[in-house]
A and B are shown apart, each in its own frame.
Chain A
Amino acid sequence: MADIQLSIAVDHVDHVRDFVDGRIRASGIEVVFCDVGSSQARFRMRNFLEFDVSEAAFGGHVSAVSRGTQKYTAIPVFPSRVFRHSSFYVRERGSVKTPADLKGKRVGLPAWSQTSCIFAKGLMAHEWGVDLASVEWLQAAVYEPGREEHARVDIPSGVRCRPEPQKSLTEMLASGEIDCAMTAIPPKNFGDGVVRLFPDYRPVEEEYYRKTGIFPIMHVMAVRNDVLERHPWVALALYKAFDEAKNRCLSRLHDPKRSAYPIAWNHDTVRRLTGLFGEDLWPYGVKANHTTLDAFLQYAFEQGVCQRRLKPEEIFPREVQVSRRT
């Protein structure tokens, strides 16, 4: 019998490579790996639905799910996760020295619905007590002028957010038109009069994780709905293959007998991280990520990215959440 062929676009990172390079097979599936990089994959999936399976931005996806307009379905596989205290950039001699200083300031962000910004705004509102309505928000790309918000959002009443199509966040941070840029990638002038709000962010983020259990999820894997309608079984088959590829990668990271990564002392770091996160440093699945998913959906709802408050269980197919018990 012939396997079905699926095109898969995802960043060629170490935790997916054993699947997309063919070492691990998803039963019943022949993979056509489209090695286009993460941002191309997300852009082309969002705009043109070119791939059967693709990496997708989490923020835009939950916006669509809450409005019933989603063209693809997420599976709980998370290629990219990054803590977000690190994504606040301020002028070295500016007026923002502490998180509480953000109150009443002008803050720039690439898109209201950008996943990293949903988490970062969640930090402001929930960790630092900064009312999002007290801030004047400007939406613009980090490097080039002219970026638009691409997901549907309903900015909550009382919150002021306007696009600034003529300028970049980098320019506005330099000129003082904004006091802080909230961005996953550093502005061009980082290191040149611009610093992180948390220069030594890692211990702060560790403490945050210890306290909240939240490890921010940026991207999910998504399967086009027409594919799932024809072949509902692929959700679980893909999930299992991605999970196995990731677990193989983790076992390389944990292996003390060789340097699987070109970073001195990496194995000691992995051992230390295991004390904080457990053996599985990068969990997939709904249950293992419930705290993070629930916080994210709460933030997305409060911020008007989602039209209604979704539950983690609603945004993934049942096939990947229920297992048979004997």
Chain B
Amino acid sequence: MGIQGKAVSRLNLVMAVDEYEHVRDLACGKVRAGGIDLNVLEMSAAEACRRFAEFDVCEMAMGRHIASLASGEDRWVAIPVFPSRLFGLGNILVRSDGPIRKPEDLAGKRVGIPGWSETSAIYAKGWMSENLKVPLESIKWFQAVGKGAVSRGISLASVPGKPLGQLLLAGEIDALVGAPDSLLRDERVRRLIPDHRAAEERYWKETGIFPILTTIVIGKDGFDAHRWAALELYRAFLKAKDNALERLLSQGIAKFPMPWGSTYAEEAEQRFGRDYWPYGMDANRATLEAFCRLCHEQGVCARRLKPEELFASEASRG
């Protein structure tokens, strides 16, 4: 018997994703995707999105993903893995001495957003139109960056090079969605909803929406050559996440540097169930349906997509 070269090899994939407790078992190699060797580069989702063409697998903003799909582009496929989710109502800032006192005052005002098709802005606009009943057409919008489609009747100006925070302080806009860290402690501004946590819980109870900011995509070439990899990656992300959910709940030994950490995880479990950070399409249908609807209403997508269209069928029937 002699060594006859490599009898078995694995697919090598480079993946860019931010650092998440629920992804790290995959990032450090404790959880492996079947048949795949992952080389994981940890970077912010924004950077990963920008550089997506350099990677085989990549974290991707949901807004960009759906806009790309709706415009008929075919650069990647997604798997229903959702690393980043935030409600975000706390990140809407107004000037302390400005004309907006309560959320309904947004009607008719000047509002800054990072970009019309930026994911958190899509949800915030949805909250304004559907929950506050403030027509988006009544608002004068200012976006930091952006190209892409906008629904009819919307007034939208691009102000590249002018930080929105400065525009807010200067009184050139009245509210800002997606507050920069530096502004959150500035006395000249305040949160539109001081008790945003309660407002977000109410929003979740009423709508079933827990905003999904990012997903995971596989470059089209790689996917076409190895379609099986979609389900193997999905399962590996799922396993890493399930490990994290169990770890965070464990009592007796602290698993993360937060006093009462496991108590907070328990509270999340009581509210959202055993799987308190669900992946997959079925468990997230309310959020995904709403997202597709909002993107269509806001003109981010020219047609209304179905949740099934967002993800590789190979990974969503698993």
What residues make up the interface of A, taking CB atoms closer than 8 Å to B?
Answer: 11-15, 17, 21, 35, 38-39, 79-83, 86, 116, 184-186, 201-202, 205, 209, 215, 218-219, 246, 249-250, 252-253, 256-270, 273, 276-277, 281-282
Q: Is the CB of A268 within 8 A of B197?
A: yes
Chain B 247-281, CB-CB to A under 8 Å as 1, else 0, gives 01001111111111001110010011000110000
| Interface status of B213 (Cβ within 8 A of chain A) | yes
Q: How far is the CB of A109 from chain B (nearest CB, A)?
A: 14
Q: Is the CB of A267 within 8 A of B86?
A: yes
Q: With A and B bound together, what is the CA distance between A273 and B271 in angstroms?
A: 20
Report B123-139 residues with CB < 8 Å from chain A CB.
none
Q: With A and B bound together, what is the CA distance between A11 and B250 in angstroms?
A: 13
User: Known contacts A83-B259, A263-B248; is A14 also within 8 Å of B21 by CB?
Assistant: yes
Q: Is the CB of B21 within 8 A of A205?
A: no
- Which of B21, B87, B255 lies in contact with A11, CB distance below 8 A? B255
- Which of B258, B265, B272 lies in contact with A273, CB distance below 8 A? B258
Residues of A contacting B90 in the complex (Cβ-Cβ under 8 angstroms): 268
Residues of B contacting A262 in the complex (Cβ-Cβ under 8 angstroms): 20-22, 241, 244-245, 248, 276-277
Q: Name the residue in B45, B210, B259 with the highest tally of chain A Cβ atoms < 10 Å from its Cβ.
A: B259
Q: With A and B bound together, what is the CA distance between A275 and B113 in angstroms?
A: 29
Q: How far is the CB of A118 from chain B (nearest CB, A)?
A: 15
Residues of B contacting A201 in the complex (Cβ-Cβ under 8 angstroms): 263
Q: Is the CB of B259 within 8 A of A277?
A: yes
| Interface status of B313 (Cβ within 8 A of chain A) | no
Q: Is the CB of B276 within 8 A of A264?
A: yes
Q: How far is the CB of B278 from chain A (nearest CB, A)?
A: 10
Q: How far is the CB of B311 from chain A (nearest CB, A)?
A: 19
What residues make up the interface of B, taking CB atoms closer than 8 Å to A?
Answer: 18-22, 24, 28, 30, 44-45, 83-87, 90-91, 181, 184, 196-197, 200, 210, 213-214, 241, 244-245, 248, 251-260, 263-265, 268, 271-272, 276-277
Query: What 6 A-B pairs are tightest by C-beta distance, nearest first?
Result: A282-B257, A262-B277, A185-B252, A184-B252, A262-B22, A15-B257
- Which of A86, A215, A264, A267 lies in contact with B210, CB distance below 8 A? A264
Residues of A contacting B19 in the complex (Cβ-Cβ under 8 angstroms): 252, 260
Q: Is the CB of A256 within 8 A of B181?
A: yes
Q: With A and B bound together, what is the CA distance between A257 and B178 in angstroms?
A: 9
- Which of B44, B86, B252, B257 lies in contact with A250, CB distance below 8 A? B257
Q: 18 interchain pairs (CB within 8 A)?
A: A14-B256, A80-B253, A83-B259, A184-B251, A184-B252, A256-B86, A256-B181, A259-B85, A261-B256, A263-B248, A263-B264, A263-B276, A263-B277, A264-B268, A268-B196, A268-B197, A270-B258, A276-B259
Q: Name the residue in B197, B251, B255, B257 with the highest tally of chain A Cβ atoms < 10 Å from its Cβ.
A: B257
Q: Is the CB of B263 within 8 A of A202?
A: yes
Residues of B contacting A81 in the complex (Cβ-Cβ under 8 angstroms): 254, 259
